[in-house]
């Protein structure tokens, strides 16, 4: 008989804010939020410590709203490189307990500790040791959800461990009724839109979804309907794997603009910058792609507009102007001419760049020479050493983005 697996989902409490408190001891007993740059209209709360949350501050609300709730809150700008470094450090700590560690996000990771219990004690003892090791080495407090599979470990952490005094909770078939009592919106994989659909079908709790007729769910959503019902019943066959991110499916770049962009010429400048960065990343990773996607979001948050469309190129590429020409045509065709606030470009259907079909009528030698020249200069002197003159205009964002990670200062 196979031994039941023991899976951890470890989540770092208020990760960015916790790192900032560990970095600056003067913040320890004060409400702290990590937020973007309010001067560039990117003042969104990225993380709030537990003391700040007691004032009603939530992640993703505006900085102005947070300051109204708690005028004396300490606002810290993000240090993204530091958060990445601490996340990697935490991963290495986890690898001391098991070689099966799978990143889920920058502050959440799955661990299969089934075979580690003889070395580190039972699952609860091991979870406490893990919490202590992470806290002592990084100053960050981890909550641990435990389950026989990834989906139950995740929901154990999100719905119960985060509320427990010791930050640890196990969820399995013996106590799944606790999960079934929760509103269906608390289930992993159910967002606000899906919640409305399920409520409209008379499903208000996770238990209601778990017992809902499967055929009706499949008739509405196909295979996704079956996945929903299996999730509600705590069924998940996916293993914890270290190869999740080994094969990249797409390479993209997205930008939230510092102001409303309404002129085509201004949007065109930023679009070209995005395509240049996407092409550079493709070459850095050794890929070419054939499917170019472009998407924009309108500036009106109350009545959001925008589009997300894609087009397939006749041959693979990692040259910026090829990507730009395709993305620009999508923009011309689908943009409603209303002001936009964010813009994104990606390329997918990737393949190795060292083996591809060429077009006899394309200037491959010239493109490869230009790519090599660009990459050599950028690798040696940095991303601001060379960029197009259009980026020097008021619309350009290349210099500003070059000193950021994920849209925030390093």
- All structural domains of the chain: 1-172 (3.30.70.270), 177-232 (1.10.150.20), 250-409 (3.30.1490.100)
CA-based nearest residue to 107, from 133, 138, 149: 138
Pairwise pLDDT comparison (142 vs 316), residue with the higher score: 142
User: To the nearest whole percent, how much of the chain has pLDDT over 90?
Assistant: 65
Binding residues, as ranges, are 11, 107
User: What is d(CA 265, CA 380) in angstroms, rounded to the nearest whole number?
Assistant: 31
Helix, strand or coil, per DSSP, at residue 7: strand
Euclidean distance between CA atoms 222 and 238, whole angstroms: 20
14: left (phi over 0), alpha (psi -120 to 50) or beta: left
- Structural contact between residues 49 and 19, judged by C-beta atoms closer than 8 angstroms: no
Q: List, for residues 101-117, the tens digit of each pLDDT value.
A: 999 999 999 999 999 99
| 365-383 residue pLDDT tens | 677 778 788 888 888 887 7
Length of the chain, in residues: 410
Give the span between the Cα atoms of 183 and 197, in whole angstroms: 13
Its pTM stands at 0.74
What's the rounded mean pLDDT across residues 392-406? 70
| Mean pLDDT, the chain, integer | 88
- Residues 385 and 333: their CA atoms lie apart, in Å, by 34
What's the whole-number mean pLDDT along residues 221-226? 93
What is the CB neighbour count within 10 angstroms for residue 176?
19
Q: Is the pLDDT of residue 361 over 70?
A: no
pLDDT of residue 176: 96
Of 87, 12, 75, which Cα lies nearest the Cα of 45?
75
Tell me the binding residues for Mg(2+). 11, 107
Hey, what long-range contacts does 235-243 have (CB within 8 A, 24 or more apart)?
Answer: 235/149, 235/151, 236/149, 236/150, 236/151, 236/152, 237/149, 238/149, 238/150, 239/112, 240/7, 240/100, 240/101, 240/102, 240/110, 240/111, 240/112, 240/150, 241/100, 241/102, 242/99, 242/100, 242/101, 242/102
Q: Which one is predicted more confidently, 36 or 5?
A: 5
- Positions annotated as catalytic residues are 108
Task: Read off the pLDDT of residues 262-305 as tens digits, 9 standing for 90 and up.
Answer: 999 999 999 999 999 999 999 999 899 999 999 998 877 667 78
CA separation for the pair 344, 329 (Å, rounded): 14
């Amino acid at each position: 008989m196979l031994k039941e697996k023991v899976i951890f989902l470890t989540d770092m409490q208020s990760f960015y804010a916790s790192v900032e408190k560990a970095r600056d001891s003067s913040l320890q007993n004060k409400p702290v939020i990590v937020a973007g740059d309010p001067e560039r209209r990117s003042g969104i709360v990225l993380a709030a410590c537990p003391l700040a949350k007691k004032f009603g501050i939530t992640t993703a609300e505006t900085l102005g709203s947070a300051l109204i709730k708690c005028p004396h809150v300490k606002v810290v700008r993000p240090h993204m490189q530091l958060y990445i470094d601490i996340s990697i450090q935490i991963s290495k700590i986890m690898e001391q307990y098991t070689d099966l560690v799978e990143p889920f996000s920058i502050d959440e990771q799955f661990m299969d500790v089934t075979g580690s219990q003889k070395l580190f004690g039972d699952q609860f003892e091991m979870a406490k040791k893990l919490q202590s090791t992470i806290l002592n080495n990084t100053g960050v407090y981890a909550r641990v959800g435990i389950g026989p599979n990834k989906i139950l470990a995740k929901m154990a952490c999100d719905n119960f461990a985060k509320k427990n005094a010791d930050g640890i909770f196990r969820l399995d078939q013996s106590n799944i009724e606790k999960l079934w009592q929760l509103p269906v919106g608390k289930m992993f994989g159910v967002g606000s839109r899906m919640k409305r659909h399920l409520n409209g079908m008379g499903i208000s709790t996770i238990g209601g979804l778990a017992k809902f007729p499967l055929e009706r769910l499949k008739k509405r959503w196909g295979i996704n309907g079956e996945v929903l019902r299996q999730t509600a019943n705590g069924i998940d066959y996916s293993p914890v794997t270290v190869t999740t991110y080994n094969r990249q499916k797409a390479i993209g770049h997205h930008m939230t603009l510092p102001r409303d962009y309404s002129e085509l010429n201004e949007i065109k400048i930023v679009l070209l910058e995005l395509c240049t960065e996407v092409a550079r990343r493709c070459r850095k990773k050794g890929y070419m792609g054939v499917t170019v996607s472009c998407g924009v979001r309108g500036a009106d948050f109350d009545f959001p507009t925008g589009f997300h469309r894609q087009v397939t190129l006749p041959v693979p590429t990692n040259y910026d102007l090829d990507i730009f020409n395709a993305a620009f045509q999508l923009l011309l065709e689908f943009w409603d001419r209303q002001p936009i606030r964010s813009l994104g470009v990606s390329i997918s259907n990737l393949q190795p760049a060292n083996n591809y079909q060429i077009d006899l009528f394309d200037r491959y030698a010239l493109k490869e020479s230009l790519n090599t020249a660009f990459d050599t200069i950028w690798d040696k002197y940095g991303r601001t050493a060379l960029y197009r003159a259009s980026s020097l205009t008021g619309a350009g964002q290349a210099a500003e983005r070059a000193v950021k990670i994920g849209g925030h200062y390093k």
